[in-house]
Copies of this chain bind each other. A is one copy, B any other.
Amino acid sequence: MSDFVHPRLTDVSLAAALHALADPVRLDMVATLAGSPDLNCAGTGACSVPKSTLSNHFKVLRNAGLIESRADGRDQRNRLRRAEFDARFPGLLDSVLANRPA
């Protein structure tokens, strides 16, 4: 479970980053992680969707360089790679989060 792949941010295209953010469930996940880092799956509050779907959403966010996942016992801890993402796409995540519906 613990061999997570995290891309270099230089390898992430703008279109790929936007694609990862272009989903209501993933937007919620990112917003939650922006507020309180280091959550596990259940902690993202997106648990109306099935586990397998969530797992896939996490993979999409990882592949877009938005989050980093670590195994912690049988949980998975996730954090936003905010500094790196902001360095790669300045202002983008801020404006996306600011425009998210409350």
Residue positions of A touching B, CB distance < 8 A: 13-16, 18-19, 21-24, 27, 89-92, 94-96, 98-101
Contact = CB atoms under 8 A, between A and B. Distances in A.
A99 B32 CA distance: 24
Contact of A94 (B19, B89, B95): B95
B98 A90 contact: yes
The copy count of this chain in the complex is: 2
A15 B16 CA distance: 14
A98 B13 CA distance: 13
A7 B16 CA distance: 26
A91 B100 CA distance: 12
14 contacts: A13-B24, A13-B101, A14-B101, A15-B23, A15-B27, A16-B22, A18-B18, A18-B19, A18-B21, A19-B22, A90-B98, A91-B98, A92-B96, A92-B99
